[in-house]
Each structure stands twice: as structure tokens, then as C-alpha cells.
Amino acid sequence: MTAAYVALGGNLGDPRQQLLDAVDALGRLPATRLLRRSRLYRTPPWGVLEQPPFINAAVLLDTRLAPHDLLGALLAIEQRAGRVRAERNGPRMLDLDLLHMEGVQLDDERLVLPHPRIAERAFVLLPLADLAPDLLLPGQGRVAELLAAADTRGCECLGEGRLAE
């Protein structure tokens, strides 16, 4: 089994409920156990600024799925939730990003692990720090240190509880 960290986000429809539904779907993936979920965060939009704020979270999975198989499963969950890939960084029903898999470094046309832009994004670092503040991301640093350097203005913890370990 391999620890895998997945970021969740959305800002269309009922993003809170869509994230919770996605967490349930992640927990039902084959050869995978959902170990923990972060708190939910309301965060300002990134990239395209003229859109509603996002709701973001992260989960820790324990999986036997290979990285590309897990990516395919994430894309299928997005599609079932109504995700339309119209523009980069634009509004979306649901976005699932595979951030990191322990012991895996990968860089191909479909997937880069760890995700190359984690350190730039408070909306990823805040929930990831709930799960693993001491996680060392190869080539980037420790999550807590990356978060300390990130711009978290406009980010708000919604205070939702985590899954038990």
C-alpha cells in the first residue's frame, strides 16, 4: 500500500457537498482506503479572478493503485460530478489533483509527482498541512515550511472536522 495525497476543490453548484461526495467516492475506490480528510477551506480564486471563491480540502489515501490508475480514477470522479474542462484555472464543479505518492517521483506527459506547483498554492498547502505538516515533498520542502512562506490572505478555515485516524 502507498500513501497518496489528493487535493479537492470546487466553486460551482454546492461545492461543499460536492467535495464531501467526492471524499465518499475516493473512499470507495478499489484497492484503496480513505485514511484522513482535512478541514474545509474557503479560498480566493487562483488564475482567473472573476469567479466565486473555492472550497478546498485534501485527503490521505492508502492505495495499491498505480499512479496513472489513481489519476484515471480521479478524472472519472470529476466527470461524474459534472466537471467540464473549459479553461485552465477557471470555475469548476470539482477538481481532484494527485499531489504526492510516497516513494514516487514521476514526470511524463500525463502526470508529474509530486505536483510541481504545490508550494505556490495556499489552497493546497492549508488542507495538506492538516494531514501531514511534516511531509517532505522532494524538490520542494516540508509542507509546514512551504505553508509558512505562502500567501494565505483571503483563506478561511470553515472548521469542518476531520475523519478519525
Residues catalogued as catalytic: 83, 92, 95, 97
Q: Rounded to the nearest 10 degrees, what angle do helices 15-27 and 67-80 cross at?
A: 140
The residues facing 42 across adjacent strands are 55, 156
List the one residue out of 106, 41, 39 whose CA is nearest residue 70.
106
10 Å CB burial of residue 145 (0-12, 13-18, 19+) is: middle
Is the preceding omega at residue 116 within 30 degrees of 0, hence cis?
no
